[in-house]
Amino acid sequence: MKQSFLYLLLFFAGVLLALWGLIPETLLNSDIATWVLYGLLFLVGIQIGSGRNMFAVLKRFGWKILMIPLATTAGTFGGVALMSMIIPERSLTDCLSVGAGFAYYSLSSILITEFRGTELGTVALLANIMREFSVLILAPWMVKYFGKLAPITAGGATTMDTTLPVITKYSGSDYVVIALFHGIVIDFSVPLWVSFFSSL
Amino acid sequence: MTYILLAITAGIAAGYLCRRRTIVKYTGSLLSVVIMLLLFLLGISVGSNNQVINNFTAIGLDAFILTAGGTLGSLFGAKWTYKKFFTTK
């Protein structure tokens, strides 16, 4: 939570500095961001490669645990595709790219900016921040009406870190391992889906 | 797309090979720093892009609509999965 706040603060600091014209031209026209992005993806890879063993979790819960990230992915894409019909100025692949962020706003917005420009990148940033916050605020309501898996699928890639505490609280500690597994799988899928939809 | 896949797979390989070394413990912190840098850069490109600044309300509304769709969709997915696979224990 504290970290999300810091991220937002830095984003808005960048916006304000650029609005006031305090950023040198050379920084605006450089492709530093692209190279830093590759570095970021390399680090994401290191985390996946060195992380907890997913197969151990699979053994304990059986293969039905895989249904949860599948439900997250299918549900999100279905919902976003429906919504793309009421936003005619954005294409289906634009909307799917934004949805494929699964609340991983930092990575998805940066990737989408790279592929589709700053405007859609900003949509992705805001949309995925909102998704994370909706879980933090609405988790009890989600559990009440959609069952104990609800905050996990809604939390997307954040169920292994920022939304884990609320999931533990409202779904129960039985769901912690499921949430961790789900977060790892979705986390891993974000760069793949986003670059897939953006390149269509 | 190719570079992106390359960067991730190289990372996974490196992470797997170094998984028993203490150095990988610092990946998380390093990652936050890189994310902060990139979000700051994204902020700069938003601030210097008049099209985005002038349409900020519309962009926010689109973001909200897409969030609502994606989140509700995944909630229905959760409900279905819970009924189908997790209630018959």
Residue B28 has its nearest CB partner, among A47, A127, A153, at A47
Q: Name the residue with higher pLDDT: A97 or A53.
A: A97
Does the beta-carbon distance from B73 to A10 stay under 8 Å? Answer: no
Q: How confident is the model at residue A55 (pLDDT cuts 50, 70, 90)?
A: low
For the record, the structure tokens of B35 come out as: 């994310």
Pick from A14, A83, A119: which is nearest to B47 by CB? A14
Measure the CA–CA gap between A189 and A184, rounded to whole angstroms: 9
Asked whether residue B34 carries a pLDDT value surpassing 90, the answer given is no
**Same domain, residue pair A82 and A178:** yes
Chain B residues in contact with A50 by the CB 8 A cut-off are: 15-16, 18-19, 24, 27
Residue-wise pLDDT for A106-125, tens only, equals 889 989 998 999 899 999 99
User: A90 with A119, same domain?
Assistant: yes
In terms of domains, do A4 and A17 share one? Answer: yes
Q: Judge if A163 and A69 occupy the same domain.
A: yes
CB contacts < 8 A (A, B)? 294
The residue segments making up the domain with residue A153 are: 32-198
pTM above 0.90, yes or no: no
pLDDT-above-90 percentage for chain A: 40
Residues A99 and A164 in one domain: yes
Q: What pLDDT score was predicted for residue A2?
A: 67
Looking at residues A71-99, what average pLDDT do you find? 95
Strand, coil or helix: what is B55?
A: coil
One domain, residues A24 and A113: no
pLDDT score, position A29:
63
Indicate whether A11 and A99 sit together in one domain: no
- The stretch B29-44 carries a mean pLDDT of 82
- Tell whether the model's pLDDT for residue A1 goes beyond 70: no
Whether residues A69 and A101 share a domain: the answer is yes
Helix (H) or strand (E) holding A67: helix A67-84
Residue A56's pLDDT band (boundaries 50, 70, 90)? low
How many angstroms away from the CA of A43 is the closest CA of chain B? 6
Burial class for A6, CB neighbours closer than 10 Å (0-12, 13-18, 19+): middle
Q: What angle do CA A185, B29, A25 make, to 5 degrees?
A: 100
A87 with B65: Cβ contact below 8 A: yes
Which region, left, alpha or beta, applies to residue A172 given φ > 0 means left and ψ of -120 to 50 means alpha?
Answer: left
Whether the per-residue pLDDT at A43 is higher than 90: the answer is no
Please tell me if residue A54 touches chain B, with a CB cutoff of 8 Å: no
- Least confident range of A45-59, A102-116, A154-168, A170-184: A45-59
Domain total in chain A: 2
Asked if A38 lies within 8 A of B83 by C-beta distance, the reply is no
Hey, of B30, B48, B71, which one would you mutate to test binding to chain A, going by the most A CBs within 10 A of its CB?
A: B71
pLDDT at residue B6 greater than cutoff 90 = no
Q: Is the pLDDT confidence value at B88 over 60?
A: no
| C-beta atoms surrounding A23 within 10 Å | 18
Q: Decide: A73 and B76 in contact? Cβ < 8 Å.
A: no
Statement to judge: residues A58 and A146 lie in one domain:
yes
